[in-house]
Structure 1
């Protein structure tokens, strides 16, 4: 009788062990690619999607989200929105450039806008979360654009200006200051000024600042293309 009980217990333990082994070798959970967001997919895939989206926006076939008007607009309608530019003069796109401005390996498109043939504004198109966003700048805010995305900005004429790079957010775009200098009056009469120089927000000597400026000015300028349907197709296809 005792041997029979031991036999039953042994069979029961073998049964539990076999069940555990089957569970351990079960099929693993598969994560659907549909759950992968654009930021998680390969950069080269996002780049191709971005360039196709830019192309259709520039051809006025789909809307983009204007962070200035806070709504989706077609490019042609955006250009006729005088509330943005504060002028009733004719606005047109003179030229455009394609480059990676924020270092994420996905290009942006920079549109040079003119008023009465004079360069006045810049619109930067940025691809994010499967959509094209637009950010508006005065021409002085984004000038001397280089291929690495750095540029010179002006504020207050000669008293406050420097060099920066863009950082994109959904509803806004900020300029990260790489280097700048600013002037301040040394007395109440404002006849003399002191100039302070900064690199990465740290106070530096004028020689260090001038060395930074020399290096920046030695960088390769971005290539600008005349705004035409032919160039839109050629450049957006070439950049993929």
Structure 2
């Protein structure tokens, strides 16, 4: 069977504790993206959540990263941190029009992350999903939705996401619930339980487990795993899906080692 591509990555690349641990001693800060983008295959950019970037910035990132690398962009907080999501159209338009298309084929999914206090209001959330553009200036856009409130753990929400063609983020988190249902044509996972006492954040056995899960996702399946909570029993069309696995939060200093260790397993299994 054909499989989608599995990419592993980290959150950002400007993080002082990584210097001398992930980044070699003496590496210029200006070269940290160059180094990071050759150690992992994707980076989730958090800066776009807090403020707009210039088109030239996105173009520079694209030029620095190697072929095949992608940047996932966290959408602006002004789009998601609001009481009435249906009113976020102008903010969404501003976000996608800031120059993200300068990334070209290195533009990965857009992550729309909601606060843990945001509850599922079906009509309003459906209206929000309709605001997400399928493309911008000829560049296709892929959308991943991260919700963190128990009220979303219902079949109605899963059906809504599948109808909209957006992916639900699965977060391996100790802080809030997650939904493992596959809903889009790609899979987006955030591994957030890294511990600093383990050099790779996750133990070798845990990394082996995540390799199996990622391979299952990439092959078009929904993994059978007691730790993956599903909200719907509706059958899923089995089709290859690109899969993104980010090591993020938790013991962040271990994130690059975890992402690289999983990438080594992916390459060995290819």
TM-score, normalised via structure 1 length = 0.23
Query: Larger RCO: Structure 1 or Structure 2 (Cα < 8 Å, ≥ 6 residues apart)?
Result: 2
Structure with the largest fraction of strand: 1
Rg: which structure is higher? 1
Structure with the largest fraction of helix: 2
TM-score, normalised via structure 2 length = 0.21
